[in-house]
């Protein structure tokens, strides 16, 4: 029996809010002078069970050596407050957590063993229960990377991730979806595909993410046009009325394990195929989808760097999907440059509106990519033969049916508005004449973030050129947009220091 599992005067502390945000990691703060800390022999980084009423979490201990906390007080990181559902002044009972049995499976994986489905189920349950520290999560992600998950293990991991979250059910079939494997700025095809597909009569309950490291996620761009923070009943009402929606996935929490694992994968920058497949497909199955198109941009600064990698990943997606009753179609595409000219929530929304409204300024590559993908989705419906989807999609876009459907979806989600415009702008111009040779997607995203995106909705940049475009000296390459003069200055400084964000051929610098 674990000591302190029961409430005694010795292991009860009063909670005080310090307001420390550690992203998703649960941290417990406790004074080094606190009797519980001393008698338990706890030190910084120990794992501690924190119970409040009938809830309990496991947190990593940070010890305070100042008067920040009194000896009878404790505090929590913001994530831990949320996970525990506690309020300032509440009492918590501290104890040693039981051993985390599923870490034995992680160790087995580290030593090269194959894991059976119950092992993945146990690991994922413990991850969602907050029993893994960042150190444990990193070990799990690392042990599964580098091709160390085979086909069956990938299926088992995906199924385990589905089983710990909510799962939507729909009365219609097919229920379709579309997912882009990340890495390209401005790739806002979703907001064009959903209204086309819904206008065709298919059901497409789309959940999208907000920006994490990028200047905008689809949910951020959509939010400049309509509310996106809908709960599951609200989302269901929109889909039942209009056939489609574009809402923020964070509000519906369809794959809570994925939300936690992604936090660790990002700083590691490890592309684990098995984890990627589990991440994408678990969300789709949880959303109740039956048919999914996966957009796989291939290019040197995209996530998938060459055709061989695309083929291997595509096969794994298709086979894993099939095992879970999900029909997956993979479409490779050009990943060498941004899709669309706007980068930032409002600027990307404007690109989408231009395509839907069939404006002359609409970006042809965004329109084209959206039509190709929407066409493939539409071919999931029985009455559209293979190869005929593109023309059907184009007809729905050109007739205005898609634009009408988009407005209806926005209204159903809570009302449509115009995206905000930035008060402060600056053109970055070509220093010499020539052709555009290279566009660095990564640096471009960085400039857009320095302008204030995604927090400042109107901020970001509008790119005026594509690879191969001929420019004259002094001609604008891109325009910075900012909501404040300070942020504009900051982005300008960075752009001035990095003249190779957009490289122009010809002549020596």
DSSP bridge partners of 60: 27, 47
Burial of 481 (0-12, 13-18, 19+ CB in 10 A): buried
What tokens appear for 466 in the block?
């594509």
R_g over Cα of the chain: 25
Among positions 13, 40, 286, 317, the unique one binding its own copies when judged by CB under 8 A: 40
The reply to whether 44 sits near its own copies by the rule CB under 8 A is: yes
Rounded to a whole number of angstroms, the minimum distance from the CB of residue 366 to its own copies is 25
The reply to whether 101 sits near its own copies by the rule CB under 8 A is: no
Rounded to a whole number of angstroms, the minimum distance from the CB of residue 443 to its own copies is 11
User: What is the torsional sign of CA 149, 150, 156, 158?
Assistant: positive
The reply to whether 133 sits near its own copies by the rule CB under 8 A is: yes
Which residue's CB is nearer to its own copies, number 31 or number 392? 31
Name the helix (H) or strand (E) containing 28: strand 27-31
Binding span for its own copies by CB under 8 A among 133-141, 226-234, 368-376, 403-411: 133-141
Binding span for its own copies by CB under 8 A among 110-118, 287-295, 389-397, 473-481: 110-118
What backbone phi and psi angles, to 5 degrees, belong to 50? -120, 115
The reply to whether 295 sits near its own copies by the rule CB under 8 A is: no
Find out whether 60 and 45 touch, Cβ atoms under 8 Å: yes
Annotated catalytic, 163? no
Alpha helices in 287-363 (DSSP H): 307-323, 345-356
CA 245, CA 238: separation in Å to the nearest integer?
Answer: 6
Per CB under 8 A, contacts with its own copies among 444-473 are 449-450, 452, 455
Binding mask 212-251 for its own copies (x = CB under 8 A): ----------------------------------------
Burial of 89 (0-12, 13-18, 19+ CB in 10 A): exposed
- Tell me the three state secondary structure of residue 418: coil
Query: In terms of Cα–Cα distance, which of 40, 50, 33, 30 is closest to 10?
Result: 40
User: Which residue of the set 72, 152, 163, 271 is catalytic?
Assistant: 271
The reply to whether 141 sits near its own copies by the rule CB under 8 A is: yes
Find out whether 451 and 460 touch, Cβ atoms under 8 Å: yes
Rounded to a whole number of angstroms, the minimum distance from the CB of residue 29 to its own copies is 7
Q: Which spans of this chain sit near its own copies (rule: CB under 8 A)? A: 1, 3, 10, 17-23, 25, 29, 32, 35, 38-41, 43-45, 47, 62-68, 77-78, 103, 107, 110-112, 133-139, 141-143, 145-147, 263-264, 267-270, 449-450, 452, 455, 486-487, 490, 493-494, 497-498
Which residues are catalytically annotated? 271
């Amino acid at each position: 029996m674990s000591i302190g599992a029961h409430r005694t005067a010795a292991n009860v502390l009063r909670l005080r809010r310090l307001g420390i945000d550690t992203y998703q990691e649960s941290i417990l703060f406790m004074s080094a002078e606190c009797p519980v800390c001393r008698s338990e022999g706890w030190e910084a980084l120990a794992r501690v069970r924190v119970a409040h009423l009938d809830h309990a979490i496991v947190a990593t201990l940070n010890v305070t050596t100042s008067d920040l906390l009194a000896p009878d007080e404790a505090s929590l990181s913001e994530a831990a407050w949320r996970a525990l559902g506690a309020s300032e002044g509440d009492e918590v009972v501290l104890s040693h957590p039981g051993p985390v049995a599923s870490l034995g499976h992680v160790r087995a994986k580290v030593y090269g063993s194959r894991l059976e489905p119950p092992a993945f189920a146990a690991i994922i349950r413990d991850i969602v229960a907050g029993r893994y520290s960042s150190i444990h999560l990193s070990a799990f992600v690392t042990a599964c990377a580098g091709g160390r998950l085979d086909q069956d293990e990938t299926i088992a991991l995906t199924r385990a991730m589905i089983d710990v979250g909510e799962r939507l059910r729909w009365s219609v079939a097919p229920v379709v979806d579309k997912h882009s494997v990340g890495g390209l700025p401005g790739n806002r095809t979703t907001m064009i595909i959903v209204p086309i597909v819904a206008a065709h009569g298919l059901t497409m309950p789309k959940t999208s993410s907000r920006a994490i490291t990028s200047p905008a996620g689809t949910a951020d761009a959509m939010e400049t046009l309509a509310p996106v923070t809908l709960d599951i009943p609200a989302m269901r009402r929109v889909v039942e009325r209009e056939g489609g929606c574009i809402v923020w996935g964070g509000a519906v929490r369809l794959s809570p394990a994925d939300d936690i694992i992604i936090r660790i994968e990002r700083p590691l920058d490890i592309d684990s195929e098995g984890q990627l497949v589990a991440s994408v497909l678990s969300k789709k199955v949880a959303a109740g989808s039956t048919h999914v198109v996966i957009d796989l941009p291939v290019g040197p600064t995209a996530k998938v760097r060459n055709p061989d990698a695309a083929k291997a990943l595509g096969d794994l997606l298709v086979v894993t999907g099939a095992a879970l009753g999900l029909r997956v179609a993979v479409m490779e595409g050009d990943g060498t440059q941004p899709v669309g000219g706007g980068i930032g929530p409002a600027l990307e929304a404007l690109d989408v509106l231009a395509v839907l409204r069939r404006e002359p300024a609409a970006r042809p590559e965004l329109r084209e990519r959206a039509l190709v993908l929407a066409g493939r989705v539409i071919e999931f419906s029985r009455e559209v033969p293979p190869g005929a989807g593109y023309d059907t999609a184009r007809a729905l876009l050109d007739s205005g049916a898609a634009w009408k459907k988009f407005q209806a979806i926005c209204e159903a989600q809570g009302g449509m508005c115009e995206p905000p415009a930035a008060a402060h702008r600056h053109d970055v111009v070509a220093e010499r004449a020539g052709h555009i040779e290279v566009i660095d997607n990564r640096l471009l995203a960085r400039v857009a973030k320095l302008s204030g995106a995604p927090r400042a909705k109107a901020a970001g940049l509008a790119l005026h050129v594509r690879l191969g475009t001929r420019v004259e000296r002094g001609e604008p390459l891109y325009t910075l947009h900012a909501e404040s003069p300070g942020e504009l200055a900051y982005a300008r400084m960075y752009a001035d220091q990095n003249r190779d964000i957009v490289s122009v051929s010809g002549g020596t610098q």
